[in-house]
Amino acid sequence: MNVKGIMRGVFMAVGVAAAGWPAESSVPIWTRFEAAFQSERTYENPLQEIELRVRFTAPSGRERTVLAFWDGGQTWRVRFSPDEVGQWKYATEMGANSDKGLSGKSGSFACVEYKGKNPLYTHGAVRLAPNRLYLMHADSAPFFWLADTAWNGALKASETDWSTFLDDRVAKRFTAVQFVVLPWRAAFTDREGQVGFTGKEKVAVNPRFFQRMDRYFDLVNEKGLVALPVLLWAIKGDINPGWSLPEDQAALLVRYMVARYGAHHVIWILAGDGSYTSAEAAKRWLAIGREGLKYNPGCLTTMHPGGMQWPWDQFRDAAWLDILTYQSGHGNSDASRKWNCVGPPATRWRDEPHRPVINAEPNYEGHYSYQDRKPFTDYHVRRAAYWSLLATPTAGLTYGAHGIWSWEETPAEPLGHKGTGEARPWREAMAFPGSAQLKYMRDLFDRLPWWQLRPADEIILDRPDDPGFLRYVKAARTDSGEWAVAYLPDNESVTVDAKVFGGPIEALWFNPKDGKYSRTIKVPAAQERAVLKAPAKGDWVLILHRQKSK
């Protein structure tokens, strides 16, 4: 292990001074404790031969067991994120294989209050809300999933560039980043020419690859962002481990990554871009999820399906699946717009058990449309974003920019993605207007109890003849009926069913291009149908608020 890696391990155990963490033997709540163990002998393939479990006992007596991971040579490490203040104890356990350097080891550490400003450590891990329709932190603060797509970012970026990108997204109020952990069809190795594993029938991990990757996970969390790592890319192709590996080896590789990064603030994307709709595919991934996440320390999990797919019927009873993501994709046809507006996400979110539903791959800004081979603009980004947020109970959205997702240094068509169009270098793509406009969107939703919004297209009356879904108005309303939001993609006016509000309402127009608001419009209680004219041409967001009785 290199010097930087050694020092990073030490800092995890004693606290990172730059973050204001305290000294030796204590770590702040929701951060990471790390301990290292030395085996008494060297193993040919530790991943296949050793399962080192570590049982942590909380101050309250509650127990949690996680896996330690091999980190090269005779070194094993365990990482753990404490969720109670007080004295924690830990002890190692092994199966049939006994190693005096690994088994029967014990220790303790103190968990103290966190004093900094990082939202992940002040609010705690992201969990399902009680109604299972949105996400929230451990302290019940709602978590709005606003992710950017940097599939190749952690693999191809320099550490400095990765930090620059994350800073930009934090400034634009993003809350998470999607990226691929292992080499896949758009990046055959990492920046240093390393791969994460070798072999197929009996895989062997490469610690050097993961030691570099550690810092990229660290930086995401240090910036206050949740990491959304794809563990196994699953589309057809030998380079994609989710496709090429046997089921048991895929699960073993997942288990290793869960052990290594489960103490970070992560939401696992178990598989990326696969087709999981067939019974055979569903059976395979149900098994990989069950075995690979066996020692998951409580991190939420989702899967990323291919474009315009809804495979979740066969995963309904999967206890490890917490979030339903989907990909409306990169089409601009009548069919793709219709799918985004009224397709399965809009109709199946009611299925039980409830899970948050999130569009994790809408139109990428600058990416060519599948149909007309023209690049998507910021308008297309806004349209897909608002449609998606209002099609299901609002939980969040992922953005993508052509050039960032593939992490291009110079103008180029991304590897393995012919026909998507020349991508701009990531620095240029970082400045595309759509990402700034999603900051305005986030600011808007933060003014509302967005976690209470439910689809309510029925409040929109007198819909125009629109077979191409070019002017389809999506609407949502809170359970209490106090607030409603509607997105108009290209409409001069909209007619709202005002009587459902049960009282006088105020209407406010929001310009999603610049984040500015219009003047307030009063709608009296006696008015059953409110015809509201958009301030100008283009797309607009309408906010409706029922006024309290005097």
The amino acid sitting at 549 is S
Distance set, CA 54 to CA 51, 94, 267 (Å): 10, 9, 22
The amino acid sitting at 541 is V
Record: fold of 454-546: Immunoglobulin-like (2.60.40)
Confidence of residue 549 (pLDDT cuts 50, 70, 90): low
Confidence of residue 3 (pLDDT cuts 50, 70, 90): very low
Structure confidence at residue 99 (pLDDT): 94
Residue 4: pLDDT above 50? no
Q: What is the DSSP letter of 538?
A: S
Residue 295: pLDDT above 70? yes
Q: How far is Cα of residue 37 from the mean position of the Cα atoms in its chain?
A: 32
Q: Average pLDDT for residues 331-345, to the nearest whole number?
A: 97
φ, ψ for residue 154, nearest 5 deg: -70, -25
Among 45, 41, 35, 97, which Cα is nearest to 68's? Answer: 35
CB atoms within 10 A of CB 483: 21
Confidence of residue 332 (pLDDT cuts 50, 70, 90): very high
Among 43, 40, 44, 68, which Cα is nearest to 54's? Answer: 68
How is domain 3-115 classified at the architecture level of CATH?
Sandwich (2.60)
Confidence of residue 548 (pLDDT cuts 50, 70, 90): confident
Parts of the chain belonging to CATH 3.20.20.80: 143-446
Q: Where are the alpha helices (DSSP H) in 146-240?
A: 153-156, 159-171, 207-222
Residue 202: pLDDT above 90? yes
Structure confidence at residue 550 (pLDDT): 61
User: What count of residues does the chain have?
Assistant: 550
Strand, coil or helix: 351: coil
φ, ψ for residue 342, nearest 5 deg: -130, 15
Strand, coil or helix: 36: strand
Is there a contact between 153 and 407 (Cβ–Cβ < 8 Å)? yes
Rounded CA separation 125/138 (Å): 5
Strand order in the sheet with 396-399: 300-305, 267-274, 226-233, 176-180, 145-149, 396-399, 357-359, 324-326
Parts of the chain belonging to CATH 2.60.40.10: 3-115
φ, ψ for residue 148, nearest 5 deg: -110, 155
Q: What is the pLDDT of residues 60-116, one digit of tens each?
A: 999 999 999 999 999 999 999 999 999 999 999 997 778 999 999 999 999 999 999
Please give the CATH number for the structural domain made up of 143-446. Answer: 3.20.20.80
Rounded CA separation 475/486 (Å): 4
Per-residue b or e along 519-531, where b marks 16 or more CB atoms closer than 10 Å to that residue's CB = eeeebeeeeeebe
Residue 8: pLDDT above 70? no
Rounded CA separation 457/455 (Å): 6
Confidence of residue 1 (pLDDT cuts 50, 70, 90): very low
Is there a contact between 33 and 80 (Cβ–Cβ < 8 Å)? yes
Residue 290: pLDDT above 80? yes
